[in-house]
Structure 1
Amino acid sequence: MEKVILPNGLTIIFEKKESNSVVVEVMIKVGSNHEPEEERGLAHFMEHILFEGTEKRPTNKDISNEIEKVGGDFNAYTTNERTCFHVKVLKKHFHVAVDVLADILQNPLFDEKILEKEKKVVLKEIDMVNDEPRYYQWILLNKTLFQKHPCRNPTYGDKKIIQNLTRKKAINFFKNKYVPKNMVISIVGDVKDWKSEVKKNFLLKGGKEAKLPAIVEPSQKKNLVKKARRKIINTYLVLGYKTVPRRHKNSYVLDVIDGILGRGQSGNIFTEIRSKRGLAYDVGTESVAEKSFGFFAVHATIDKKNVEVVKELMLKELEKLKTISVKDLREAKDYIEGDYLLELEDSQKMADQLLFWELTKDYRLMKEYLKNIKKVTSADIKRVIETYFKHYAMIVIEGK
């Protein structure tokens, strides 16, 4: 792995990998957590509008065709803490990937008519998320679990702000955030001219890195329950707990807990709730550790009449972790190792991981992850359960 910072402040991380393909991914270090109240949803909106035309490629079709005519693919996503654009092509078309990404990230048109059209698309996306319980349960969890941290605000933003968004406001957000010091590019593949190609195409200057203000999230003193109703048959249940950001050593312990409880069809939660009792179809766990926040959740899709039964089973499985067996601990670590290394065989996943760890602290920590997992002991698991799993936020989305 190699890291280079260009004179304009742009960071490049290169991982040589023998493959026919090359992945180029650009991370802008801005997400919904960085948005003041009057700009909620603009980071996500940028993800949409930047594919809609540049001076060189005036339409969405012109942009997509540039990649697709050489057999490549591209996409983008927005999280609480970053916005990423990635392209995968054959390595002989590496220059095409860099050229297109540089173009959309430096020369967007922000055409007035297209902007109005894309606002409608984003508003429909917000409605879709709110209508779909398997997505909305996570929106509701963050809103209930966190009191002050901006991760409590949905990444998709605020409908009124999107509706009233002007071209001028969109351009101002873009000019302030899409600057070299706020960008990191990861390249995974077997290409030689990566540094010169990026330097030739990414010509932006100035700007500064987006920073989050210091936030003191209050500790939770009691269990919280939030219910919502939808025109649905199933009931969606989530138990969530505030935990720690990725840089905290306990984040690795939480990943091992996730491996014990939630791995595939052999995790303890799946076994107890679905395999033994048939109380759910979809059931699992989530361990989330981002740069500035973290949470752990247990979730299940069940019949309304079984909410209390399933909740008690979830709590029982968490309690049982205080006396975890050597066998269960070893199997969880082996699962995480296999899952992690197999995922990194995918060049796009590796490019994404390099950016995640660089945002968190240092891209080289990607290679240290499994060492930190292997250090976790049964005593660590007991300590973490006793520290972070005292009070939950319970989300229930049920039929009207």
Structure 2
Amino acid sequence: MPTHLPSVETVQTSTLPNGVRVVTETVDTVQSASVGIWVATGSRDEEPAHRGIAHFLEHMLFKGTERRPTAKDIADEMDNVGGYLNAFTDKEYTCYYARVLSEDVPLALDLLSDMYRHSRFDAEEMAREQKVVLEEIKERDDAPDDLVHDLFAETLYPDHPLGRAVIGTAETVAALTP
């Protein structure tokens, strides 16, 4: 059972000069922090021919930036401070996030910002990641609990973006090009 739930009193919202909205909550009893970039774009925003591209782009942001040329460079920087870096894509949004000690928040924000703003999208890396996502699609097709969720959405929302699987289809993912 959660010992702490956010309240109106502990959550603050502000807007940076560049228009980025920042939501913070201070919890005095912890020495760690979670930071994230929430993008108001998910699978429901995709054209039918590009199903799965939001999820694919989520993967690609971890593959290297101008300052951190490889996926290993990104992972090592977070590992060096004992942090955790991940992302997920939903029908409504995509989230990139990190969990670190409080003193490492500037590093986490720099890393997330660099990934979001300066990802390289190398053609060879994209081809490798396509194979990864195609394998994820096969795994989903072999997992009844995942597959039934997608089939339920497809039945509930036929011919609507909310009825599409976030991960895309083997055909649409295989057709993605740099």
TM-score above 0.5, yes or no = yes
Alignment-derived partner of residue 111 in structure 1: 122
Q: Work out the CA distance in 1 between the residues paired with 2:122 and 2:104.
A: 29
Q: Deviations over 1:14-38 (max 9, x none)?
A: 1111221011011010010111112
Unaligned runs of 5+ in 1: 168-400
How far 1:160 moved relative to its partner?
1.8
Q: Give the paired residue count.
A: 167
1:146 to 152, 157, 160: 157
Alignment-derived partner of residue 40 in structure 1: 51
Alignment-derived partner of residue 16 in structure 1: 26
Q: Which has the higher contact order (CA 8 A, sep 6+)?
A: 2
How far 1:165 moved relative to its partner?
1.1
Which secondary structure does the structure 2 equivalent of 1:54 belong to? coil
Q: Work out the CA distance in 2 between the residues paired with 1:161 and 1:139.
A: 16
Alignment-derived partner of residue 373 in structure 1: none
* Pair 1:97-2:108 in alignment: yes
1:65 to 76, 80, 89: 76
Q: Work out the CA distance in 1 between the residues paired with 2:77 and 2:61.
A: 15
How far 1:131 moved relative to its partner?
1.3
Q: Work out the CA distance in 2 between the residues paired with 1:119 and 1:148.
A: 25
Percent identity of equivalent pairs: 38
Which secondary structure does the structure 2 equivalent of 1:86 belong to? strand
Q: CA RMSD in A?
A: 1.1
- The within-5 A match list for 1:323-362 is none
Aligned-partner residue type, residue 88 of structure 2: Y
Farther off after superposition, 5-14 or 41-50:
5-14
* Pair 1:81-2:86 in alignment: no
How far 1:5 moved relative to its partner?
1.8
Which secondary structure does the structure 1 equivalent of 2:66 belong to? coil
1:27 to 22, 38, 48: 38
TM-score (norm 2): 0.90
* Pair 1:3-2:18 in alignment: no
- The within-5 A match list for 1:361-376 is none
How far 1:148 moved relative to its partner?
4.1
User: For the pair shown, which has the larger CA radius of gyration, 1 or 2?
Assistant: 1
The structure with more helix, counted as a fraction of residues: 1
How far 1:9 moved relative to its partner?
2.0
Unaligned runs of 5+ in 2: 1-10
Q: Work out the CA distance in 1 between the residues paired with 2:169 and 2:145.
A: 20
Q: Deviations over 1:191-243 (max 9, x none)?
A: xxxxxxxxxxxxxxxxxxxxxxxxxxxxxxxxxxxxxxxxxxxxxxxxxxxxx
Which secondary structure does the structure 2 equivalent of 1:87 belong to? strand
How far 1:109 moved relative to its partner?
0.5
- The within-5 A match list for 1:225-244 is none
Which secondary structure does the structure 2 equivalent of 1:154 belong to? coil
Which secondary structure does the structure 2 equivalent of 1:100 belong to? helix
**Following TM superposition, where does structure 1 have runs of at least 4 consecutive aligned residues deviating by more than 3 angstroms?**
none
- The within-5 A match list for 1:196-207 is none
